Amino acid sequence: MNRAMGEDYATVHRGVYARSANMTLAYEAARRRVAEFMGATNENEIVFVRGATEGINLAANSWGGVNIGEGDRIMLSQLEHHSNIVPWQILAGHIGAHIDVCPLTEDGRIDLDWLEANLTEKHKLVALAHVSNVLGSVLDAKRAAKITHKVGAKLLLDGCQAAPRMALDMGALDCDFYVWSAHKLYGPTGVGVLWARSELLEAMPPWQGGGSMIDRVSFDGTSYAPAPGRFEAGTPMITEVIALHAAIDYVESASGTSGMDSMFAHESALAAELREALRSINSVTLYGPEQSAGIVSFTMEGVHPHDIGTILDEENVAVRAGHHCAQPLMDHYGIPATARASFGLYSDEADITALMRAMDRVQKIFG
């Protein structure tokens, strides 16, 4: 990023001078790298967006605007992040569509048996988290795709928490849209990815207008560039895209020869260990399935999660405390918030020891 903002700094897709041409090459090389990382066959299926939130808003506005009509239904789940709820609510409000909510299994996974029994031909879109940011539960995405396609609907997967933890393969997952944010993959903020099948992208209208996304502009009418350029209006986040390329290189080299799945194994083993350790405290409640993707949410009787977070912070243990942008999930459990430990590729057992030591302090302070 430093180099891209320093000696290499230039805009893309415009200048004929060498520096701009080189920057364009670097920007487009990042697109190819992302396509390879996601197991996408075609780099033109990769749209750079500001983050997962913008990717979902793009899908809702552009694809949803022409493919979901009055009286149609959109299926979400109880554990979705607000960014995979609110854009669909806004769309549904505008066009008179309905939102249904798939419930969870006892252990906090999206209940695909219920989904299969309740999807109808009125459903045009199913939008689900590949991995829950609160519970760490992993969706059986292939089954979700099969169930969704059986009624002729499209499947959007929110991959924010999966992209940094699991090998992605768009062909094998068989979904229709996939979004994620670079800052979850040890990259910068301000950049994310929307992947969509090329036949869908090609048929989708632009959602933002401006420079770069056009073929020809006149006051008699404007024609648009093909995808993905059609969806990247204006000067893009060039340095962030280049940093995303570097982040993928970093994560893949850190994951070693066994690839991204080793990240999942590493983090889910730590999550299982932490769950076991937290069970030794009677007043702790754990949420989510035993097998989780490196995320452990918990509460402690009589102690607000914010107090847990503050005391843990004093011991240099950083956890998030709050509703995690998943208020409907909090409502489901009848709680305002949880404390959430989230492991990364550099986490190890010393982090669990530190967290448990800090939990001792929580217990002492709150009796």
Ligand X SMILES: Cc1ncc(COP(=O)(O)O)c(C=O)c1O
The nearest distance, CB 76 to ligand X, in angstroms, is 12
What whole-number distance in Å separates Cα of residue 76 and Cα of residue 148? 12
Residue 98 · residue 130 · CB < 8 Å: no
Question: Among the candidate windows 39-47, 154-162, 166-174, 244-252, which touches ligand X by CB under 6 A?
Answer: 154-162
Using rule CB under 6 A, residue 292 touches ligand X:
no
Using rule CB under 6 A, residue 52 touches ligand X:
yes
Q: Which of 45, 72, 158, 267 binds ligand X (CB under 6 A)?
A: 158
The nearest distance, CB 159 to ligand X, in angstroms, is 8
Using rule CB under 6 A, residue 110 touches ligand X:
no
What whole-number distance in Å separates Cα of residue 319 and Cα of residue 176? 33
- State the number of binding residues for ligand X (CB under 6 A): 15
Nearest Cα neighbor of 79 from 116, 113, 127, 123 is 127
Q: How many CB atoms lie within 10 A of CB 319?
A: 19
Given the structure tokens 């080299």, which residue do they identify?
Answer: 253
Question: Among the candidate windows 8-16, 51-59, 168-176, 246-254, which touches ligand X by CB under 6 A?
Answer: 51-59
What whole-number distance in Å separates Cα of residue 153 and Cα of residue 314? 49
Q: Which of 161, 268, 297, 342 binds ligand X (CB under 6 A)?
A: 161
Helix, strand, coil tally for the chain in percent (to 5): 45, 15, 40
The nearest distance, CB 125 to ligand X, in angstroms, is 16
Q: Which of 53, 137, 255, 338 binds ligand X (CB under 6 A)?
A: 53
The nearest distance, CB 161 to ligand X, in angstroms, is 5
Query: Would you give the binding string for ligand X spanning residues 187-226, x where CB under 6 A is met?
Result: -----x----------------------------------
The nearest distance, CB 254 to ligand X, in angstroms, is 21
Q: How many CB atoms lie within 10 A of CB 245?
A: 21
Using rule CB under 6 A, residue 83 touches ligand X:
yes
Residues in the chain: 367
Segment 126-145, which members bind ligand X (CB under 6 A)? 129, 133
Q: Which of 31, 33, 73, 81 binds ligand X (CB under 6 A)?
A: 81
Residue 95 · residue 69 · CB < 8 Å: yes
Q: Which residues fall within 8 angstroms of residue 234, CB to CB, at 6 or more apart?
A: 208, 210, 211, 212
Query: Would you give the binding string for ligand X spanning residues 250-279, x where CB under 6 A is met?
Result: ------------------------------
Catalytic-labelled residue, pool 102, 160, 175, 325: 325
Catalytic residue list contains 160: no
> What are the helix (H) ranges across the chain?
2-5, 18-37, 52-58, 65-67, 86-95, 112-118, 141-150, 170-173, 198-203, 238-255, 261-278, 305-314, 327-333, 349-366
Given the structure tokens 């989904």, which residue do they identify?
Answer: 115
The nearest distance, CB 81 to ligand X, in angstroms, is 3
Site residues for ligand X per CB under 6 A: 51-53, 81, 83-84, 129, 133, 158, 160-161, 181, 183, 192, 325
Annotated catalytic residues are: 325
